[in-house]
Structure 1
């Protein structure tokens, strides 16, 4: 049963005040979800290094009594009878009147006196002058199926009794903001049955430190096994309002709970400004530009990230136990000037966690267009519409359904307009800003933190916004065609043959992990090195051999990392680690780098280390490089990163694969080099596979089987070498056909040779997805796994299942 609203209370004994330490989740009817949660957290985190600031609640009973004593209920009810919330002007008029009614009703001396006395008691309980945050807490908010986030007012850095009382009254009145009125109507809440409590809490001095938001799942894909910590300098409102692009950090829950304390992945945000209270006449919260040097540093140390993640995992476990089912959480944190960390809010995540886990709608562009701007993708969808640049309230009035809302940032007052937008694009903001949260809740795709959208995009211009290409959302010129596909996982067949995925982009991993695959048959290191690192491994290992111009470019790229080597190893480990974590404990096979010399030469510093070859396709690539003086030091960096994934991150589901290994002796030399760098086959369960993509791999498969744990057929290279066709040549491309009898015979020999030696054999080319007859052929031969791109998975599952059924007696 809920605790009585009349005690225990503060020293005035008036009954409208409840200290946080007397509250728990059973008190939601009295103080709302936000404040009840603060009381619950005070108890939960008492023994941890991260705490919850002290404070008190002004109960919902105070709100109800004040309105009853003022006789306000009848007029409030009348205001919202027979009311169309789509009429923006009328919504504004009635909302303003309702706020006036509540504000006037809550100004009585009895309530004022109790708030002032509670504030004095809180001030007396600490050292020095007190500064508090005053936050609204509705009795129907922060529920597992609804979120009122950002709909009611909050006030920061109040330092005197009159200011706190005034802020409490304005919080009570904010129950009738336009956005809150619309939200209640749309979600079937009776206005008169939703009350508001106010939390008064000691401020954490994050003005001079950092603050942010934590999700205990990935807020885009819904992947449940990570904690996402976002952070920026100054007060947390900067992140929520979307005025800054925050830093982001991922921590993998399962390996964290096994004792492997490591940041899985991190992304540096722009952190353009910080919000901070500054003294002066009356004091004020000001927006302060962040110095460039500070912007280029992460706002949190790894130790702080891991401490926050550990507390978030404990909070999620506690609330899940209370609910009797998994309860992902949305948590706000703040860091004091002395470095101490605090949780200042925790509520259930109410959008992604409510999604049907059995279904996935995929969007895919089928055409191309010029990219006008890009930012962080929110929503995994694609939408097309005319641009409407919104710079103020007057532009909002002109907004029409189906338009693309473009702005510097959004505010909670814009929620009714976001609901009718085709999509949202903002200059600033991260994946936990207001625009992202509301767009996600409304099912509207958004691109946030684009930087220059309001300058680049023009009113009336038709654009296509794609959030279906990984972490980066892109705005294309014109109406680019796209298609959608509805997948029901339970309706897909489950063949005996393992069907796995080919992945190059780590940012796609968390989404792809939802698909019913057997793991990752091919994770390419080239994309991470080429696109996310961009520096040649030998240039990283030997910066002394580079020109001053190239060294300066590398220095700009690495940011706060100590050296190019540290940057390279960290970024590669985090890229591979994100893929391995997404599919954990399913196997992930990462192929060592397989750039050709002309591709390596395009990397920063690459031209100083790469020879010029007439035919790079069959030149200095793959296994030939790893123990060669021209690349051995670069290969050592690859091994260091992969060892970090398995040893430090604890992701032992990661297997490694050697590409383009021409001879048995070459394979032996590569294994010895890997062992010297800590990657010894069999140690800690490490499996090392080899690509079967050269005819000699097939001819000598018995000998290769003595060295490696498995084979993955690269049908593209194998076919071109069997047929003698350069698949990159447009002139002879017509002769490249993986269905040729000679190629099929090589596939047969490879599979039978692997089975003869007790070695698993898979295929990671696109031939089985492109040609169902090849999938049937491979299945009939008893291949162990088939690995295809995510958009080919459903079709391949069906083709393989049908082939198995046809083979059945």
Structure 2
């Protein structure tokens, strides 16, 4: 085949034909750097392929000779057109001589698997430099002609994804101007893979076990090493959260995006396989000291030739003899992107906001101050940041899912937010004017001439008006029997929430509530400083605000439930608990040191003695009956049980409660509240902070729904109420039908979801009543 360009022979005049990725990789390979062999299928092949589809009925009939006129703001049309374009490409036939030529070239490597990397050459536009990070993904396939043909089509078809079509129009590029080449290389199993970023302020290395796809997919939190840029000394290293890894399997094809499901290929045709890392591997750094130093030496060599700012992807190949580093991608200093066009994540809190970006690259170091009204861009947000977030206009995090702390904080504060926005801190610069859309989960640069931002400008110009959480209430709203409660933590929101049609506060998150009064200090520090009385008074006053505002409705105060990673600014970074997903959470921490728990109980007792008898206590993350009994005795010692209205509940979120609930009831549990966020995490074994694992973290999973049904039934059999306060009913309102049918006594949601949930509960109850009536009529 005459349109193949081998990496070690590519010349400057070939640059437009082979694309930027392949061109820069060929440059460093020809300079002697370790790069796996490979060849490029020229972009001309794609053009000829599209020409071969020329038919009066095909949507791609006039490509590549005319631009695709499409209203990308019409999302329904965009998805339909993109789907049809890709379907036409996938179902077409690739010329057999092309396929056989590629196969003959690849078979000399004697590898069973190949990787096809898209390599683009884009025209210059008037809209500045372009960023295509994450837009097109690599495709893996077996080394046979059928798989190669399918992989080629799958690679090409990504040019016409909905997000690609949107991007091309946003940067002013006509589709026919794009040159998409494909770099073909063998796939080697890897001990470890990752990235190396170098700049003047320091180096950063990311690493995970196996192939680098786990990082690309966002399925792991990689190990991170911070390197001194001059000496090469490791200044700091952080152990990641690595659960799975990828290795080479046999046949056929899958893309990074479509590894879970695809309309074109079946999951079991993947030429890669995932495997669960052992407990030992999870606790080990992916790079030993020896290999880390080798990578630093390689980085120094690249910096000496390419300049101080370089980004490479690397792989430590698992050879039979000696493992060897290979560079799989390099960004030349002159090709570093400074302007982004589109960042996609998960919409975590509804609303749109326009403001300037404020980028924080290291979330382990909590800032002392965050400017008012900005859009905060950070790797993640932990609860101890809460006091800084009250006047933030929007939040974008690279990590986290819909049930992560960043998402929960943003919803409670009524701040539009996007989570799991990969590489946001690299793509966005402080001071850039952004449009954040929390409904779609998207972030754009401000378009001066864009119609889409006018409504947002008007919204921002109105200032900090009170947010209305419930707008459709009328005297004709239906009554509901299932109690609707609200999750809350911020006393500043009470005035906006207290008049909602809720039956009380189902979850008062103490750990978020108390952060507003601690002035950035650990509560133990207050005690050591002799300020116990002052802290008790502040704590009592804060609880009293909720009790007073919602009286005579009940308030369920959940005692402190902090994990070590949630409060990184309070912890010793060398502590092993800092990396723990669980740590000494919930009641276990009270058993080990009850000082702060006893202070909480005294604060509750003070509020109760002031005449607010409907303040109740809910214990978090209870693992055993013994833990509960310990806490119950502390509650009794504080005098709380002397009030006949007081109720002591537990959160049902540790799976052991499924087996122990009758014992808990015998021990004095007066009610349970199902925490679906942690229950799902622990049943499915998926860290809920990992938003990229959203396909696995699903509260609707049969195992989770079965657990919820069992808890409701056991509570009913035990004669105690059963509430639910996790995010599941909000994310998936369709499950409310089942909850009502099973006999849930109350549902507690965040303020912004009250309106929707009220309506769904009403319809669910009406359907039950109607079904019962029909059944009764049928029996007559």
Shorter chain as denominator, the TM-score bin is 0.3 to 0.5
**TM-score w.r.t. length of structure 2:** 0.43
**TM-score w.r.t. length of structure 1:** 0.42
